[in-house]
Amino acid sequence: MTLEEKKLYNEELKERFLKQYTGNTQKYYRNILQKAFPIETALKKDIYAFNRSELNELFAEFGATSELSIISEVSIIRKYIDFFAGFVDTKTNWAATYSPKDLKRYVNKFAMRKKYITTFEQYYKNILELNNAQDGALIALIYEGARGKEEIEEIQNLKITDVFPNDNKVILTRNNGDTRELIVEDDTMELIKDAIAEKEYYKNNGQDCDVTINFLPLANSEYVFRPCGKTKTGKLKQQTLLRRIKNIANYWGNPYINVRNIWVSGMIKYAKELKKQYGKLTMPECWLICDKFGYDRRYWYNVTRWTRDYI
């Protein structure tokens, strides 16, 4: 998004609406309203005055990558228009007339195809292109279900002593001390073992041809995922792990690769296996997915929403 697009059209009204919210909620709502700025400017009217045809144009510009994201974004537009019903002549809130089925057509189909890689074979093929076992094990573990509530705490906290190769088992630990067991594929365990043994980390997957030394020594640490540098100690910082994933996405040429999408991709793969085994994907099967991926069973229905278009 350019600097120009980050502006708010009719800023005083928008800020009055945003003042109701705080923190990340306000930040998210602001981002959605900023997306409307170019179209509002071109039409010389605020969103609250848009007709259905103009809203169609706006929703198409959102470039949503899932049904859930477009539904969420449109709900914010609806709330914004409702808020000003008492201040301006909005007449009909056209944003409230869209059904989930109506909104499905605004999902970017190319993004959906690139967003999730739903077979381990395809992921493993991509992983084999990576020169760093640390990177391969990172992607494979997230795909198998390791994550945590605080971004990727279970990856960050994984110690060498938590890895049991003979049982294909790892013990995952959250920042609050909660632990759980995760059984992984043979290929994933091999990647983890290689990551533990790895001594050097290649920058940019070894593609930095303009530098004399394109690798750095990995720290000697009790953790599986380690920082670069002989003097470094302890576990890898979360932002460093996220940067590694972003670099992998760039190397693969897939901007939709991130922690959540890798994690959901693994869910889809597991959901396929369970549906093949049980012939259905109802609450008990979704509980199995929740348990494997460290997700609260109370929200099992989200699993069906994330996986239904792919199984």
Question: Tens-digit pLDDT profile for the chain (311 aa)?
Answer: 443 447 899 899 899 999 999 888 888 899 999 999 989 998 899 998 898 889 998 998 887 877 778 888 999 999 999 887 766 655 678 899 999 888 888 887 766 667 788 777 888 888 888 999 999 999 999 999 999 887 799 999 999 999 999 999 999 999 999 999 999 999 999 999 999 999 999 887 776 555 555 778 999 899 999 998 877 777 889 999 999 999 999 888 888 889 999 999 999 999 999 999 999 999 999 999 999 999 999 999 889 888 887 88
Task: Write 119-128 long-range contacts (CB < 8 A, 24+).
Answer: 119/269, 120/185, 120/187, 120/269, 123/265, 124/187, 126/252, 127/191
218 touches 200 (CB < 8 A): yes
C-alpha triplet 61, 63, 69: angle, nearest 5°: 120
Instruction: For residue 86, give both structure tokens.
Output: 């008492």
CA-CA distance, 159 to 36, in Å (whole number)?
46
Q: In the prediction, which pLDDT does 11 show?
A: 93
Instruction: For residue 206, give both structure tokens.
Output: 């070894």
Q: In the prediction, which pLDDT does 117 show?
A: 82
pTM: 0.70
Query: Residue 89 CB: number of other CB atoms within 10 A?
Result: 8
Instruction: For residue 104, give both structure tokens.
Output: 């499905």
Q: In the prediction, which pLDDT does 106 show?
A: 84
**Strand-pair partners of 182:** 170
